[in-house]
Amino acid sequence: MSTEFDIAETLDVKGASCPMPVVKAKAAIDDLAAGDVLEVLATDPGSVSDIDGWAAGTEGVELLDQAEGDDVYTHYVRKTA
């Protein structure tokens, strides 16, 4: 997948561990409009599976892509409804 998205907001949760990346991502996505993309920056390796599971189990949220680089995990989540 491409990591070229029109980012509406970036959420920096570096240093936070489970479940905070998901908790804060949910709060941030709730404030966005349908179609907006949230970029989440995390250092917790568990955020990869946590955010994937949250998006898969949450109506109105779509995980677009995840990337790892320089000890930072970047997640792109779209609000669909």
The mean pLDDT of the chain is 94
7-79 has which fold?
Translation Initiation Factor IF3 (3.30.110)
pLDDT of 54-81, one tens digit each?
A: 999 999 999 999 999 989 999 999 999 8
Q: Please give the full DSSP string across 20-76, using - where no structure is assigned.
A: HHHHHHHHHHHTSPTT-EEEEEE--TTHHHHHHHHHHTSTTEEEEEEEEETTEEEEE
Catalytic residue selected from 8, 18, 23, 41: 18
Domain ranges of the chain: 7-79
Pairing status of strand 37-42 against strand 72-79: antiparallel
Half-sphere exposure of 24 (CA within 13 A, CB side): 19
Please say if the pLDDT value at position 34 is more than 80. Answer: yes
Q: Is 18 part of the annotated catalytic residue set?
A: yes
